[in-house]
Amino acid sequence: MNLSAPLTPAMPSLDMDPEQLSIPCLFMRGGSSRGGFFLDGDLPQDPDERAAVLLACYGSPDSRQINGIGGADPLTSKAAIVRRSERDDADLDYTFCQVGIDRAKVSTGGNCGNMLAAVAPFGLLRGLIKPSGPEMSVRIFTTNTGQVVTARMQVADGWPRVSGDGSVAGVPGTGSPIAIDFGNCAGSVSGRLLPSGNVRDRIVVDGRTVEVSFVDAATPFVFVNASDIGADGTELPAELDKNDRVSAALEPVPGVPACGR
């Protein structure tokens, strides 16, 4: 018996499969989110075609995303598209995509700081940037919001460090910390830290008055008093997802569905 011979036939190249499209993808976690990281040049440049490819990749629309890499949760149905930047003030360009789960929609309206944390390691792994020292700073232009942020990551033997004592609430275990400096992130989408011009606004939802604060810092947020929606503010995400009463009270508040988690 020739022990050097392969025990199984070599797998044919997917590039030759007439029914499947082969696209390189690095599956990574950033903060409390995870998803596919793609090189910009590996995806179609037409926005509609690119969205169609991402929806197919993630298995959307389908509440379970059983035909793709999506995890049937907004935190696990995200994608990052990265390229070497041509800007003088940035090393990498990063586009964030929120892939719809039960809707055939890919949103690029805002940024995701969680996925952003993995952009620098991805750039180093894919050869878009070169390692420098045990800790390196990487300037990232976020195309969604037009900002340049700086990520600082640890490097070992030219590779992004994986082990470390950094922790993220809601994520098991620890890892090498990545620090993100957003600089002046006020008004990244609307142009103003307080889009309405007020610290607090009172709005009427289903006949009741709700006090909210609209804040645009890196991405738009709507802050609502827990007591105004029948919650106490200590509920975990799984509890809120199962609480139809709270969801029904929260969803009519302007801007809340668009903010996601």
CATH architecture of 23-181: Roll (3.10)
**Distance between CA atoms of residues 13 and 90, nearest Å:** 36
pLDDT tops 90 at residue 45: yes
Of all residues in the chain, the percent with pLDDT exceeding 90 is: 59
In this prediction, residues 39-62 reach a mean pLDDT of 97
What is the band of 18 on the pLDDT scale with cuts at 50, 70, 90?
A: confident
Residue with more model confidence, 172 or 189: 172
pLDDT of residue 112: 92
pLDDT of residue 249: 75
pLDDT of residue 256: 46
What is the band of 24 on the pLDDT scale with cuts at 50, 70, 90?
A: very high
pLDDT digits (tens, 9 = 90+) for 76-90: 999 999 999 999 999
Average pLDDT, the chain: 87
What is the band of 254 on the pLDDT scale with cuts at 50, 70, 90?
A: low
**Distance between CA atoms of residues 251 and 236, nearest Å:** 17
pLDDT of residue 4: 44
pLDDT digits (tens, 9 = 90+) for 185-229: 787 778 888 988 899 988 887 777 888 898 988 778 888 888 887
Domain boundaries, the chain: 23-181, 201-259
pLDDT tops 60 at residue 7: no
In this prediction, residues 44-72 reach a mean pLDDT of 96
